[in-house]
Amino acid sequence: MSPATRHFGRWATAVAWVVLPFLAGPSFGDALDPRSRAVQLVGTIGLWALWALGLVAALVPSTASLTVIRILAPGSVVAAVWAALVVPDGASAAESLALGFTTLAAVISLSAPVGDRMVNGSSYGDERRMPLRPPGVLLLGPIELTWVVVIAGLAAGPMLLAARQWVVGGIVLVVGWTLVALGVRILHRLSQRWFVFVPAGVVVVDGMALTDAFLVQRQRVDSIGPAPADTRAVDLTEGAIGLALELRLTEPDLIIPAPPRSLGGGQPTIDPVEVQSVLIAPTRPGWVLAEAERRRLLVG
């Protein structure tokens, strides 16, 4: 990774979030202006509170910060769209600026350099975490739907109460914030999936594919490289879209797959699986191969 890319990952989100109130704030103010005093107050406090939370997340990199910023930054786009639709005199330059800048902030937050910097903010010592791409099936709706539930659940209850819709607002607040807690927990699991380089070797950390992290000691790593089309490696990508890398071992080892999701109350039986090689899907395969070469692992 180039120094420019590292600096982008470290500072781009923070800079965008710092200037967000100045570029998008006037549009939000115009949208709240004709509302009742209570709605204005709740909306203003909510926007500033979420901005402060996002700023802390942008300045203090960690896996939790990555989850927060990837929920709030796209949420700012929704707020900008709402402001453009409800502003009394129709969308103006302020609304266009807000929509454009919040979109830019969202794109930055979802970028690979930002994800890389955030997850490594929680790393230890000579550890290098490489984020894994989300399961392909989750990109077709479940992730987006969960995010919508989180954003709607966060805002709907307080705004209904501010509008004096006491019964409906109270119900929506309780149900909505319960769904927010569940949705954040689900989305946070996507921030906790990594391929990790450690002094002792490499580790696959993926609670969606594995019950326990899969550690391969350095001397047992045969090679790592792009997976051929006819590979027989055990697939740990969870159907992620894009180039997969194959981690080959010098001798077979055991992994413990994650148990299948069941609607029943019984505990499924989990049998270890012997593997000679496994497939992973990092967000940036080239960065993984470059780090492998730096650590003198065979690439090919």
The pair of three-digit structure tokens given for residue 175, joined into one six-digit string: 């149900």
Rounded mean pLDDT of 50-59? 97
pLDDT at 264: 52
Q: For the CA atoms of the chain, what is the radius of gyration?
A: 22
Structure tokens of 152? Answer: 């709607």
Cα distance between residue 4 and residue 24, in whole Å: 27
User: Does the structure show a pLDDT above 90 at 261?
Assistant: no
The secondary structure of residue 227, as a DSSP letter, is P
* Whole-number Å distance between alpha carbons of 257 and 46: 42
| Integer Cα distance of 219 and 236 in angstroms | 22
Instruction: Take residue 296 and report the two structure tokens written for it.
Output: 């003198």
Tokens 């309780």, located at residue? 174
**Residue 108 to residue 225: CA distance in whole angstroms:** 28
Please say if the pLDDT value at position 91 is more than 80: no
Would you say the pTM of this structure is higher than 0.85? yes
Q: In what order do the strands lie in the sheet with 128-131?
A: 128-131, 194-198, 201-205, 214-217
Which pLDDT value is given to residue 206?
97
Residue 10 DSSP class: H
pLDDT band of residue 267 (cuts 50, 70, 90) is low
User: 10 Å Cβ neighbour count for 58?
Assistant: 27
Lowest pLDDT segment from 35-44, 83-92, 152-161, 290-299 = 83-92
Q: Is 1 exposed, middle or buried (0-12, 13-18, 19+ CB in 10 A)?
A: middle
